[in-house]
Amino acid sequence: MSKDQTRIAVVTGGASGIGEECARQLRDQGWRVVVWDRHATDGEPTVDVADYASVAAAASRLDGVDLLINAAGIAGSRDPVGRKDPAEWAQVMAVNLNGTFHCAHALYEALRARGGVVVNIASVAGMVMMKGRAHYAVSKAGVATLTRSLANEWAEDGIRVIAVAPGYVKTPMIQRSIEAGELDERKLAAMHPLNRLATTQEIAAAMIALAQPPFLFMTGAVVTIDGGMTLGK
């Protein structure tokens, strides 16, 4: 990462939830932050990470990048396969998995030029199967595998690639499902031995810390931050 210049971060999904908190914490730490989101923030142009042309156009407007945080994502429905809309399956893959690939791919040369870092968001949902979540689980397992693939391919370019795999985090994505009656907050909390959901602050702080010293020897890791959820009962 550059030491003498202002450090530049691209944060996808930076208009809400974990991405928004990453953008806030990075700005507080003196970074210049460019948000790529389908919803506009601070007059920045909208970017659809599922659409490679949109991502490539946004990449062409940058003048350097030290850190790419891939936080854009969608949850999709809770219908089981057999009752799931195939178009919705494709959309979850397009945003969560293809979107992560699109952004990393479009920023490869820029990241290489500055010895940059990519931090992706996988999920415990890619490790512990939940009914009705097949598309989301597959997309997040794909993000974990993409993280290891990119870390392996790009190590010789000096680019580190890591991911976090959170348990449930209290963000607008989860809040919407609670309000729609699809999820029960107390039951969600009870799935984690620490008996609560994570805060966006906790997840963002971990993602930003892992991108910087002293974690420079870490690449290809998918770091579980789940209040013990994957430990079993």
Ligand X SMILES: NC(=O)c1ccc[n+]([C@@H]2O[C@H](COP(=O)([O-])OP(=O)(O)OC[C@H]3O[C@@H](n4cnc5c(N)ncnc54)[C@H](O)[C@@H]3O)[C@@H](O)[C@H]2O)c1
In the complex, which residues of this chain contact ligand X (CB under 6 A)? 12-13, 15-19, 37-39, 47-50, 71-74, 95-96, 99, 121, 123, 166, 168-169, 171-174
At closest approach, how far in Å is the CB of 103 from ligand X?
Answer: 9
Contacts of 20 (CB under 8 A, 6+ apart): 13, 14, 41, 200
Cβ proximity to ligand X, 17 vs 114, nearer residue: 17
Catalytic residues: 136
Cβ proximity to ligand X, 101 vs 168, nearer residue: 168
Q: DSSP label at 73? A: -
At closest approach, how far in Å is the CB of 114 from ligand X?
Answer: 23
Which segments within the chain are labelled E, that is strand? 8-12, 32-36, 67-70, 117-121, 160-166, 222-225
DSSP string of 17-64? Answer: HHHHHHHHHHHHTT-EEEEE-SS--TTPPP--TT-HHHHHHHHHT-S-
Cβ proximity to ligand X, 52 vs 215, nearer residue: 52
Per this entry, what is the length of the chain?
233
At closest approach, how far in Å is the CB of 27 from ligand X?
Answer: 16
Cβ proximity to ligand X, 12 vs 147, nearer residue: 12
| Angle of the 99-106 helix axis to the 134-154 helix axis, nearest 10 | 20
**CA triplet 37, 14, 137: central angle to 5 degrees?**
85
Cβ proximity to ligand X, 49 vs 111, nearer residue: 49
- The CA distance from 171 to 220, in Å, is 26
- 115 closest CA partner among 79, 68, 82, 70: 68
At closest approach, how far in Å is the CB of 216 from ligand X?
Answer: 24
Other beta carbons within 10 angstroms of residue 48's beta carbon come to 18
At closest approach, how far in Å is the CB of 99 from ligand X?
Answer: 6
